[in-house]
């Protein structure tokens, strides 16, 4: 005769398809260990190893919201598997509704998909979390989503607020520079790209954008200096950017 143990009665009642496994304390600890190993691998640029560790973490404890968020980030940014990434972000939020990092990451994914209204809603929800440490990121990306929708004034206001909160927010300076450049305010665009380069001196793109901007204003020496900086800072995986900066430098 089949008997339902008390430990799995609730799972049986809810799922009506057998007994759902509840992770043991050892499995939860193992999940945290594999998550930490994934973080370390990711910090060293080993994205495949990181993904493998995060997946092991979820095998041991499918209810680990940090691991779901981490898998979502890799699938989103490194592998461009957006539907799968979305499912992991959403699962993280189901497990922890107050998980503002996952909510902002999901907003970033919706932004990449061109679903600007959905992205704006998610960013605004993150900004309502008074304890969210990375609110500047949500506000800066909220500004970019507003710009993509055509609301330039509120876009600039939000990105400037993000930079005020975190003066080292490189993406904010970059996006302000793009907005000013695309709206014909080249002088201001150059100032923002210069801030981008100052705050992120190891990012080759910052030099490239500043150089193009200075060239538009006819400032040849400043543009040459920026393109030379771009060429020097370009990483081994940025050969196209390096070649572009060399070509722009040669044409000045």
202: in domain: yes
What separation in angstroms does the CA of 19 have from each of 9, 58, 152? 8, 18, 54
* Residue 67 resides in a domain: no
For 57-107, the DSSP string reads: HHHH-TT-HHHHHHHHHIIIIIS--HHHHHHHHHHHHHH-TT-HHHHHHHH
pLDDT in tens, 195-204: 999 999 999 9
Predicted pLDDT of residue 21: 81
Question: How many CA within 13 A on the CB side of residue 155?
Answer: 20
Is pLDDT of 185 > 70?
yes
Identify whether 177 is part of a domain.
yes
Three-class DSSP category at 2: coil
Tell me whether residue 73 is in a domain: no
Task: Write down the pLDDT at residue 19.
Answer: 57
Q: Terminus-to-terminus CA distance in the chain, angstroms?
A: 86
Which among 54, 123, 128 has a CA at the least distance from the CA of 91? Answer: 54
Q: Which helix (H) or strand (E) holds 191?
A: helix 186-199
2 pLDDT above the threshold of 50: no
Q: How far apart, in whole angstroms, are the C-alpha atoms of residue 88 and residue 64?
A: 11
- CA 201/CA 197 separation, integer angstroms: 5
State the residue range of the domain holding 214. Answer: 166-251
Average pLDDT over residues 149-168: 98
In a domain, 212, yes or no: yes
CA-based radius of gyration for the chain: 23
Q: Is residue 190 part of a domain?
A: yes
Q: Which residue has the tokens 């020496």?
A: 221
The reply to whether 139 falls in a domain is no
Phi-psi region of 172 (alpha: psi -120 to 50; beta: other; left: phi over 0): alpha
Cα 102 to Cα 24: distance, rounded to the nearest angstrom: 25
Contacts of 97 (CB under 8 A, 6+ apart): none
Retrieve residue 12's tokens. 């049986």
Q: What CATH number is associated with residue 199?
A: 1.25.40.10
**Residue 207 belongs to a domain:** yes
pLDDT tens profile 52-76:
999 999 999 999 999 999 999 999 9
**What percentage of the chain reaches a pLDDT higher than 90?**
90
pLDDT, residue 20, reads 67
Backbone angles phi, psi at 98, to 5 degrees: -90, 10
Domain count within the chain: 1
Residue 8: the pLDDT is: 40
């Amino acid at each position: 005769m089949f008997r339902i143990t008390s430990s799995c009665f609730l799972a049986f009642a809810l799922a009506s398809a057998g007994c759902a496994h509840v992770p043991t304390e050892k499995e939860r600890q193992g999940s945290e260990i594999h998550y930490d190993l994934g973080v370390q691998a990711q910090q060293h640029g080993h994205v495949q190893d990181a993904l493998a560790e995060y997946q092991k973490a979820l095998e041991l404890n499918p209810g680990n919201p940090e691991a779901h968020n981490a898998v979502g980030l890799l699938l989103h940014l490194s592998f461009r598997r957006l539907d799968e990434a979305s499912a992991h972000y959403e699962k993280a939020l189901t497990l922890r509704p107050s998980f503002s990092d996952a909510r902002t990451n999901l907003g970033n994914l919706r932004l990449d998909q061109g679903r600007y209204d959905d992205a704006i809603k998610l960013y605004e929800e993150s900004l309502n979390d008074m304890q969210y440490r990375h609110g500047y990121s949500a506000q800066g990306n909220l500004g970019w989503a507003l710009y993509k929708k055509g609301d330039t004034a509120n876009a600039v206001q939000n990105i400037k607020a993000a930079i005020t909160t975190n003066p080292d927010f490189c993406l904010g300076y970059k996006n302000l520079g793009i907005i000013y450049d695309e709206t014909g305010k080249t002088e201001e665009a150059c100032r923002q790209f210069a801030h981008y380069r100052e705050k992120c001196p190891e990012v080759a793109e910052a030099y490239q954008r500043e150089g193009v901007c200075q060239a538009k204003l006819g400032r040849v020496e400043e543009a040459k200096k920026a393109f030379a900086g771009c060429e020097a800072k370009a990483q081994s995986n940025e050969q196209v950017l390096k070649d572009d900066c060399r070509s722009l430098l040669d044409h000045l």
